Amino acid sequence: MYIEKTGEIEYRVIKSRDLKNLVDYFISIKDESDSENTNIEFAFEFEDGSSVRGSKSNVFSETESKKVKSASFSLRNYDLDMSIRVRIVTNLYGYYEIEGKNKDWVNSKFAQLEEIIKQIPNQNRFFSGFKSLLLMSIILGILIGISLYFIVSLISPGDKKLGLTTFIFGSGMGIFISSYLADRIRELYPIIEFDNTLDHLNKTKRKKKSILTIFWFIVIPVIINIIVNLFFI
């Protein structure tokens, strides 16, 4: 009976050590095999358009100076009809699958591979999630609209029509601008991200630090200040 087990990789940040762990995993399985017909292959595509493939651990050294766009790992034992595949593509998908006729072998290798996948750091779900950023954009937009409404009410206390128009316009513009900024943020936090290069070569990491600094030290204080002024003062 042929056994197949599969798993998905999502909301993960794949670092250099994670790629190394996967390379070592495949090499260790090949080394423990008694069959000479066990083949392994590693393939990496990089953001600059170049690529490299091979069956030795030294192929991993190429990933230390270039940002990976996609990574593929495969093993095939033709004598025992067993195979393992891992495929990861930035911002798209990731999966792993093991096939074979030996149920114990499939379960054992799948559990080992699953442990390696679990060690990969999680992506920031708040900044990578569409719903969370959309909700934040709507809340921020409405708060901006309410703030403008109260400002207009102080300037023209009897003009309710102007106040309502200001609230609708302010909320709409606030949501539009916030949604645009949220989309730019989400691009920095894809479902699958490779973070395998040195920090000074990683432009995305520098942008993330700037975004987080702005979020925690500007956006959050502004939101708190608006809420306090509207409802508690």
98 and 138 belong to one structural domain: no
Instruction: Give backbone dihedrals phi and psi of 5, rounded to 5 degrees, phi first.
Output: -130, 135
Question: Where does the pLDDT of residue 229 fall: very low under 50, low under 70, confident under 90, or very high at 90 and above?
Answer: low
Which distant-in-sequence residues (6+ apart) come within 8 Å of 201 by Cβ? 65, 67
DSSP per-residue letters across 1-59:
--EEEEEE--SEEEEHHHHHHHHHHHHHHHHH---TTEEEEEEEEETTS-EEEESSGGG
- Among 103, 118, 133, the domain-final residue is 118
For residue 30, tell me if it sits in a domain. yes
How far is residue 194's CA from residue 52's CA, in Å, rounded to a whole number?
Answer: 16
Q: Provide mean pLDDT across the span 34-54.
A: 88
148 and 49 belong to one structural domain: no
Range of the domain at 180: 125-189+202-231
| Residue (of 146, 212, 141) closest to 179 by Cα position | 141
For residue 196, tell me if it sits in a domain. no
12 and 105 belong to one structural domain: yes
Reported as a single tens digit per residue, the pLDDT across 182-209 is: 887 877 888 899 988 765 556 667 776 7
Which distant-in-sequence residues (6+ apart) come within 8 Å of 112 by Cβ? 25
175 within 8 A of 138, measured Cβ to Cβ? yes
- Across the chain, mean pLDDT equals 84
Reported as a single tens digit per residue, the pLDDT across 132-176 is: 878 888 888 888 887 777 777 777 777 778 778 888 888 888 888
173 and 74 belong to one structural domain: no
We report the CATH number of the domain holding residue 31 as 3.30.160
Which distant-in-sequence residues (6+ apart) come within 8 Å of 167 by Cβ? 145, 146, 148, 149
113 and 131 belong to one structural domain: no
Encoded tokens for 154? 């102080």
